[in-house]
Amino acid sequence: MDAPLRRQERKALIELPTDDVMGSPFLQIAQVRKDFGNFTALKDIDLSIHKGEFVCFLGPSGCGKTTLLRIIAGLEVQTAGQILQAGRDISRLPPALRDYGIVFQSYALFPNLSVFDNVSYGLVNRKAPRAEIRQRVTDLVKLVGLPGSEGKFPGQLSGGQQQRIALARALATSPGLLLLDEPLSALDALERLRLRQEIRSLQQTLGVTTIMVTHDQEEALSVADRIVVMNHGVIEQVGTPIDIYREPASPFVADFVGKVNVLAVNRVNGRLQLGRFSLPGHTHNNGPVKAYLRPEDVLAQPIAPGEAHVFDARIEKIDFLGAYCHVVVSSLSLDEHRLTVYLSLNFLAEQALQVGSQLQLKLLPERIKVF
């Protein structure tokens, strides 16, 4: 951020409510269902979020993540279920009586109002003293890195600057909960990266409980304390970014979060077999199953003589992505399965590798997930 405040100054800007019971969830969602006619958008959602957490709702379009956020905000009414915030039942309260600030994808600033009037809107409605409003707006505009812009109008600001003002407006009333509805998706790639880092830094400094809806897995992995992966109106998995990535609970999570190789693995006499390699784990049935292997779990170096699970491969395709490349290889040892692996640009240059080249790779079978 431009001209960031010191940590003590930032903390002084927002006084957050404490949980009623030490360690109890700040936000509790119990058996929430949402029907639109004959279509069920959410199916018995149970979720607990603790004070100060940054949680991302992640999933493809139509999975129900935005519907769940809107129900928390009171912008949609659930068909069934209960929502508690800081021990208070908010299930049927209108939005104005709930304790949150919200930032939308489209900024939703009033184009005919100045930055000052946009940020102070909620404080004016609450009839806060004029001097307090002025100080609060000045502090927040400085906090989001746009000091001195109070007199400008939204049309005079870039997309990233408008979203910063929308964030300041959401924080103006010192909410206990901050809701972010795909706030970065309308921005260009560089601004999106910069602003997501600033939002995370701001959230950590202020300690405000935050829920962000996104379909961008990289975004969720980089900022969240926990990720809620959703699909077809249900929660597939809840966990830390490393847990979601390394220990997916279902084929959908394995395939949706991060890049992965999906392989046909045979079950032979109770053993899992990928080409000539036996894999950890047993099964009672014969026949094919699907296995999931991350590109980084196939190593090109260092490989010592006599190491296990080493195989010869041929490079079929190289996709240049800057510092590293997606390299598609095939191997007789894997029954002609094609694998995508990550190789650095420096390694490819040092080994003079190109399409058609042969190289040795090492499989990490303990990293393979079989469902």
3-state secondary structure 115-181: HHHHHCHHHHHCCCCHHHHHHHHHHHHHHCCCCCCCCCCHHHCCHHHHHHHHHHHHHCCCCCEEEEE
Measured in degrees and rounded to the nearest 5, phi and psi for residue 223 equal -115, -25
Same fold, 7-100+175-255 and 259-370: no
The pLDDT of residue 10: 39
Please say whether the beta carbons of 308 and 314 come within 8 A. Answer: no
**Listing from the earlier edge strand, what are the strands of the sheet with 80-85?**
39-49, 27-36, 80-85, 88-89
The pLDDT of residue 285: 62
For residue 215, the SS3 value is: coil
The pLDDT of residue 7: 41
For 150-166, write each residue's pLDDT tens digit. Answer: 999 999 999 999 999 99
Between CA 118 and CA 103 the distance in angstroms is: 13
The pLDDT of residue 281: 63
- Name residues of the chain where pLDDT drops below 70: 1-23, 281-287
The pLDDT of residue 282: 55
The Cα angle at residue 49 between residues 44 and 53, in degrees rounded to 5: 145
Measured in degrees and rounded to the nearest 5, phi and psi for residue 55 equal -115, 135
**DSSP H or E segment with residue 25:** none
Sort 111 into a burial class: Cβ within 10 Å, 0-12 / 13-18 / 19+. exposed
The pLDDT of residue 21: 39
- Distances from the Cα of 46 to the Cα of 179, 224, 297, 315, 360, angstroms: 18, 19, 33, 46, 47
For 44-61, write each residue's pLDDT tens digit. Answer: 999 999 999 999 999 999
Q: What is the DSSP string of 183-198?
A: TTTTS-HHHHHHHHHH
CATH number, span 259-370: 2.40.50.100
Handedness of CA 274, 279, 281, 282 (dihedral sign): positive
The pLDDT of residue 290: 86
Between CA 281 and CA 262 the distance in angstroms is: 17
**DSSP H or E segment with residue 290:** strand 287-293
Q: In sequence order, what are the residues at sequence separation of 6 or more whose Cβ sits closer than 8 angstroms to the Cβ of residue 321?
A: none
**Listing from the earlier edge strand, what are the strands of the sheet with 234-239?**
101-103, 177-181, 209-214, 54-58, 226-231, 234-239
> Which tokens sit at 349?
């240059």
Q: Identify the CATH class of 7-100+175-255.
A: alpha beta
**What are the residue boundaries of the structural domains of the chain, listed by start?**
7-100+175-255, 259-370
